[in-house]
Chains A and B, each alone.
Chain A
Amino acid sequence: MFNPEELKQDFPILSRQINGQSLVYLDNAATSQKPQVVIDAISHYYQTSNANVHRGVHALSDESTKLWETSRATIATFFGANPGELILTRNTTEAINGVAYGWADHHLSASDVILTTPMEHHSDLVVWQQVCQRTGAELRFLEVDETGRLKIEQLEEIFAHSDIKLISLGLVSNTLGTRNPVEKIVKIARKLRPEVKILLDGAQAAPHLPLDFHELDCDFFAFSGHKMLGPMGIGGLLVKQDLLESKAFQPWLFGGGMIATVEREKTEFAEDLADRFTAGTPDVASTVGLAAACRYLQQLGMKEVAQHDQELVQYALEKLTQISEVTLIGPVYALPAQPLDRVGSVAFIYQGVHAHDVAQILDSQGVAVRSGHHCTMPLHTQFNWQATVRASFQVYNSQADIDKLVAALAKVKAVFGI
Chain B
Amino acid sequence: MSDLYQAVLLDELRHPQHKQSLPDPDSVARAVNVSCGDDLTVYLKFSSDQTILDIGWQGNGCAIAQVTMSLLSAHIQGKRVKDVMALTQSDLESLIGIKQISLGRVKCLMLGLEAVQRAIQKTKK
Contact = CB atoms under 8 A, between A and B. Distances in A.
Interface of A: 19, 353-357, 360-361, 363-364, 371-373, 377, 380, 385-387, 415-417
Contacts of B62: 354-357
Majority DSSP secondary structure for residues of B touching A:
mixed
A414 to B, nearest CB: 10
B114 to A, nearest CB: 17
A364 B2 contact: yes
Given A415-B10, A417-B10, A355 B36 contact: yes
A380 B37 contact: yes
B71 to A, nearest CB: 16
Interface string B1-42: 110110000100000000000000000000000111110000
Contacts of B37: 373, 380, 385-387
B63 interface: yes
Contact of B36 (A354, A364, A415, A416): A354
Interface of B: 1-2, 4-5, 10, 34-38, 60-64, 102, 105, 108
A417 B62 CA distance: 16
Given A363-B1, A387-B37, A417-B10, A357 B60 contact: no
Contacts of A417: 10
A416 B10 contact: yes
B36 A356 contact: yes
B61 A354 contact: yes
Contacts of B1: 19, 360, 363-364
Contacts of B63: 353-354, 356-357
A237 B75 CA distance: 54
A353 B63 CA distance: 8
A375 to B, nearest CB: 10
Contacts of A354: 36, 38, 61-63
Given A354-B62, A386-B60, A360 B4 contact: yes
Contacts of B2: 364
B36 A372 contact: yes
Nearest to A386: B37
Contacts of A387: 36-37
A8 B60 CA distance: 39
Nearest to A385: B37
Contacts of B105: 356, 360
A356 B34 CA distance: 13
B5 A356 contact: no
B36 A373 contact: yes
A380 B35 CA distance: 11
A389 to B, nearest CB: 11
Nearest to B4: A360
A186 B102 CA distance: 45
Among A19, A354, A355, A416, chain B packs the most CB atoms within 10 A around the CB of A354
B35 A373 contact: yes
Nearest to A416: B10
A357 B35 contact: no
Among A355, A360, A380, chain B packs the most CB atoms within 10 A around the CB of A360
Given A19-B1, A387-B36, A387-B37, A356 B64 contact: yes
Contacts of A360: 1, 4-5, 102, 105
